[in-house]
Amino acid sequence: MTYNPITTLSQLVSQSEESSFPITAFPQALQDVIRYLQDGSKYSAVLAASTVLAAISNSCQSLIEVFNNNHGSSEPTALYFMTLGESGSGKTTLSKLVMKPYDALKAELAQEYQERLATYGRDFAVWKPELQALESKLRTAIKKDDNPEEIQARLQQHIARKPVQPIMPILVYNDTSLAALLDGLSVYPSAFVRSEEGSRFFEHCNIAQQAFCNEAWDGGVYDYKRSNREPCSFKPTLTVSLMLQPSLFLSYMKKHGTEALDSGFLSRFLFACIPSNNQYPSGGMSYRYRQDTFSRDEEALRAFHNRITALLAKQKELIWSAEIKKKTLKLSPDAVAYWEGKHDEWISRTMADSSWSFIKPMVMKASGNTLRIAASLHYFVNQDDETISLDSLHRAAAIMEWYLSHTAEWFYQFTPHYKFLQDVQELTQWIRHKFASNNGLPFKKNDVIKYGPNKFRRSDKLEPLLNYIMNTGEFIYIHKSPPHSAVYITWRMPNGHYAPIAEHNVHHYLPPQQDTDQIS
């Protein structure tokens, strides 16, 4: 696999022809896979790219770590993905295509496990009687005080040669419970947790599960206390890929969003929301099916599967040898400088009233996720080079910046400003209906408090909304003389003038060319 020469983040983003997602930030061979999975734009680029990136993350996480210069220590390269899409957007289809090497490995491991288990049974059947014989001899020697030291030494040597029972690791968990996940990880601590119907995951996503996922992402040691069994400790490494419908995640956010954000759980995810096929959202993510726009190259997917299979073969060797040996990848000096600068740039955009102020928890984790993306893509391309270049980091930053921008776009709906504008829209509609039912006659401002939507019937809630609406010019306040009499709301007529109260001597606050004045 090779990288196309590239120098700046803006070049990465501008080169993407099919969508705003920077496909060209990936190695060329992975670009070919992503476009193959799109199937002539039948499926979205971000869905294909996220599915590929999740598979790469999982295939590399048991083999490498990445050095974080800010922390001065190594951390996992595993990534968490949250992909929102309606039924029919291709989540299951693409996942099945990408996961074929994992299905093959599962079958291989099952067969080899049975063979190793049979060998273990034979070896243990030979080992156990000798253990019992040595124990019997030791008891006799102790009773007779007949120099038991020799028997003890032989017994210790024999115990050290006890056959090791093979494990049957679970590498992929689908819609599993936390208890089942912990049991499996206590046997083998590296796994791919995925759910094509993520609502099941969130149905049971309590504080304990959030805390565990946070611990796994951070690379910490988890102390597992099991009922009726000895407690154990392990260091879990998880790639997580959750796919669910936007409405279901929206429902979760309304009920538990504050808790999930405060705990840091959601801040570790890379978010993407896939539009339906007949939509053209802002950001250029539309992907109506165009069968003739791209010639599918099956060799691209075959080569991708071969590379994943090779990495999984290395993981299988570690499983049977019971070793935990990972390479540590490090940034080159110029990549470190760029990474630190990019971190500072992103953090600056979280300041009050800045574009990412409401996704600050995600931005705080972004530099770490950038390292993980860079390390995973780098190792997937070249297992021999342990130094991540500036070019590789440029590419990872382009991908990460897209996820941040997309996260901000989606999470904007939970901000006070968005909710305020929603209230403005609702109140504006009520005012329009009021005029329609009132023959276009101005009505008292106080009527909004009396008869308007219940949630707006407090002045502290209502005044900012009305002020915003009045500033649009569609409606204004007017009042009769004397100046301190009741305030009315009127509307702008097609001729540009505002409808007057049906009485003489009315004072308006109107545009300068008219005789009346607008109330501020």
3-state SS, residue 492: strand
Predicted local confidence at residue 252, as pLDDT: 87
Hunting for tokens 């008869």 — which residue is that? 451
Q: Return all residues near 497 (Cβ < 8 A) that are at least 6 apart.
A: 510, 514
Of 414, 440, 473, which closes a domain?
Answer: 414
Q: Are residues 214 and 282 in the same domain?
A: yes
Hunting for tokens 């598979």 — which residue is that? 55
Q: What's this model's pTM, rounded to 2 decimal places? A: 0.82
Q: Are residues 28 and 57 in the same domain?
A: yes
Q: Are residues 252 and 188 in the same domain?
A: yes
Q: Return all residues near 76 (Cβ < 8 A) that are at least 6 apart.
A: 61, 65, 66, 216, 217, 219, 237, 372
Report yes or no on 135 lying in a domain: no
Report yes or no on 208 lying in a domain: yes
Q: Return all residues near 414 (Cβ < 8 A) that are at least 6 apart.
A: 253, 257, 358
Beta bridge partners of 237: 190
Report yes or no on 337 lying in a domain: yes
Q: Are residues 384 and 489 in the same domain?
A: no
Report yes or no on 111 lying in a domain: no
Report yes or no on 122 lying in a domain: no
Q: Are residues 452 and 338 in the same domain?
A: no
Q: Both tokens of residue 26?
A: 């990936």
Q: Are residues 261 and 388 in the same domain?
A: yes
Of 348, 381, 414, which closes a domain?
Answer: 414
Orientation angle between helical segments 390-411 and 333-348, nearest 10 degrees: 20
How far is the C-alpha of 170 from the C-alpha of 188, rounded, in Å? 7
Report yes or no on 117 lying in a domain: no
Q: Return all residues near 341 (Cβ < 8 A) that are at least 6 apart.
A: none
Of 376, 399, 414, which closes a domain?
Answer: 414
Q: How many domains does the chain have?
A: 2
H-state helical runs in 322-415: 333-348, 360-381, 390-411
How far is the C-alpha of 36 from the C-alpha of 435, rounded, in Å? 56
Burial class (CB in 10 A: 0-12, 13-18, 19+), 379: buried
Beta bridge partners of 193: 173, 240
One-letter identity of residue 380: F
Predicted local confidence at residue 199, as pLDDT: 67
How far is the C-alpha of 18 from the C-alpha of 285, rounded, in Å? 8
Q: Are residues 332 and 204 in the same domain?
A: yes
Domain that holds residue 402: 9-106+169-414
- H/E segment holding residue 302: helix 298-321
Report yes or no on 134 lying in a domain: no
Report yes or no on 78 lying in a domain: yes
Q: Are residues 291 and 380 in the same domain?
A: yes
Cβ(155)–Cβ(135) below 8 Å: yes
Predicted local confidence at residue 484, as pLDDT: 66
Q: Are residues 230 and 373 in the same domain?
A: yes
pLDDT lower than 50: segments of the chain: 1-19, 278-294, 504-520
